[in-house]
Amino acid sequence: MFAGIGLVVLLVMVFGGFVFTGGNLGAVMHALPHEMLIIGGAAVGALIIGNSGADLKALLGGLMKVFKGPKYKKQDYLDCIFLVSKLMKTLRVEGPVALEPHIEDPKSSAIFAEYPRLLGDTALIHLICDTLRLVVVSSGTLDPHAVEDVMDNALKTHHHEAIRPADNLNTLADALPALGIVAAVLGVVKTMGSIDKPPEILGAMIGSALVGTFLGVLLAYGVVGPFANRCRQVIEADASIYQVVKQIIIASLHGHPQPLVIEAARSNLNHANQPAFAEVFDGMRGR
């Protein structure tokens, strides 16, 4: 919602200010389609050249994140704490044999079925199941620090892939001013080919060419750059849930008491999504 509001404010302030100071908006609107065709077409072409089909699909998903915001809310983090804690309790109380069916086939697991929203996140479920599978096959003899190293590597790889849409948007933002200059230069070339025209026609043609530079800079620093920043914020916010999984598993493997396990999970969350200690503790006792 805020992204849409920001776009409206941006356009109103820029073009409204131009009109308010006596500018002729008609001249800009006349040149806008042609300059956008050049700049936008070049930008899309550059993205296609520099990315795979999967990256382009992820980029579209990243743009949607800008408008939708973070996927996970406070209740999702609570559910994640409850889910992983229940799995660790099963391991501790009933043993690896009892846990194995849940992590081998999460979609058929009664424990995972209680949290359908989390079950829809493939990366999250793989992180939980793959880590606990290591614990199960080792019969609980793994060093918790070794498990933590494995999880850190998995999280690093996932974050590198997840953050790619924001990086691609940043790259595009850096390129747009230069693409605007390309459009402007083409406009100047067109103007020079009509140098014998009257001054009023040449002035209009030069003005149209400068619109290319204006659009390149506006799109870079007013639209795509902020989109990249917001996309990165959303991706990093949603990544907190993976840290919750890590903290619960590692703290549990260390044999820490439940209050410390809870605090380890809560400490990674921002205040907007951070449940109260009593809220988590009471919820875990009731499960």
Instruction: Report CA-CA distances (Å) from 92 to 151, 223, 225.
Output: 20, 51, 48
Give SS3 for 272. Answer: coil
CA distance 151 to 83: 18
Task: Summarize the confidence of residues 198-211 as an average pLDDT.
Answer: 82
| pLDDT range class, residue 247, cuts 50, 70, 90 | very high
Model pTM score: 0.86
Q: List Cβ neighbours of 230 (8 Å cut-off, separation of 6 or more).
A: 3, 65, 66
pLDDT in tens, 94-144: 888 899 999 999 999 999 999 999 998 999 999 999 999 998 888 767 788
Instruction: Report CA-CA distances (Å) from 206 to 186, 198, 203.
Output: 10, 12, 5
How do the domains of the chain map onto residue ranges?
28-287
| pLDDT range class, residue 218, cuts 50, 70, 90 | very high
pLDDT in tens, 4-60: 899 999 999 998 998 888 888 888 888 888 899 999 999 999 999 999 999 999 999
